[in-house]
Amino acid sequence: MIMVQSFSKLREDMQNVNIEMFCGCDLYDGKWFYDPQGPSYTNSSCPIITQMQNCQGNGRPDKDYENWRWKPSQCALRRFDAKKFLELMRGKTLAFIGDSVARNQMESMVEVPKNRGNRRMHRWYFKSTSVMIVRVWSSWLVRQTSEKFDFAPEGVTKLHLDAPDDNLMQLIPKFDVIVLSSGHWFAKQSVYVLNNEIVGGQLWWPDRSRPMKVNNVDAFGISVETILSALVTHPNYTGLTIVRSFSPDHYEGGAWNTGGSCTGKVKPLATDELVENGFTSIMHKKQVMGFELAVKKAMNKSKLRMMDITKVFGYRHDGHPGPYRSPDPNKITKVGPDGKPPPQDCLHWCMPGPVDTWNELVLEIIRRDFEGHQNFP
């Protein structure tokens, strides 16, 4: 049995690193409260929402999940203020880098449909303040190849855990603020290469007689250290990197492909209802360890901050699309006669919804860094 360090103990250990609680109040100690004012946009006013996250447009019958907001215990967290954000970022570029959950966060910030980029890198330009917002797809954040390598055949993705994503690193000097996230793709099939040697794999390990040195959780931790170390030692990067911690899913009764469900969740969990998820906890722990190791290697003038949303969002089992993933009027949304739930998404977040809090936190971290370490009044 693997003993998973509790969130409370882990947060004690994190006090001595650059977690974004070092100035002012701890942004991640607080509670969710119901705000009757509701969100600042609707699913119909934001034209770039991915259809699978357009929960109201897909027929979700309840709506209160849009109204719960996060309140730190010792300070205020204001709603996202687009004007304030653009003024702080004047003449700068912010990049969301990661997988589809990073895209989910980017779509929560950008409401204009004009994309000046391509499929791998989307760009939105705000002429009034010369601000560029960019989304870069990098599912693992490290180098990946598909060619045959040792006993791993062609076609299976090889992750070189000790080398950052080459295509991504070419772009880094162009960015002033980076919001970085990853983790969930380590559940997908891949081969792990470290020091030019195959050391493990996920959903792939053909020779059971060979001991596997690195599993997917370890691989994630190594990848975090690799990409962050590359950023804090990059000779031409002096920006602010915000690492969004592992986003919890809420599949109950199974995984995403084995009957897991979040159907019928209509409000956040109460404090005494939160049950620690072992996989989420250990992924979070590995991510923080990778972060801490990278901090010790810092050589350039860039800054590294952790946006620690994992426990905060553990309460929000109500914020996922669930079975409301498409506008198909004939989709199945109820448990079948065999007792099995319909296919559903308990990983991504509805928009509007809890994910909007992430950009409120991003704005506060940027404000603290650019203006000084004061709280909002």
Q: Annotated catalytic sites, by residue?
A: 100, 345, 348
User: For residue 159, what are its two tokens?
Assistant: 């992750």
User: For residue 44, what are its two tokens?
Assistant: 């119909």
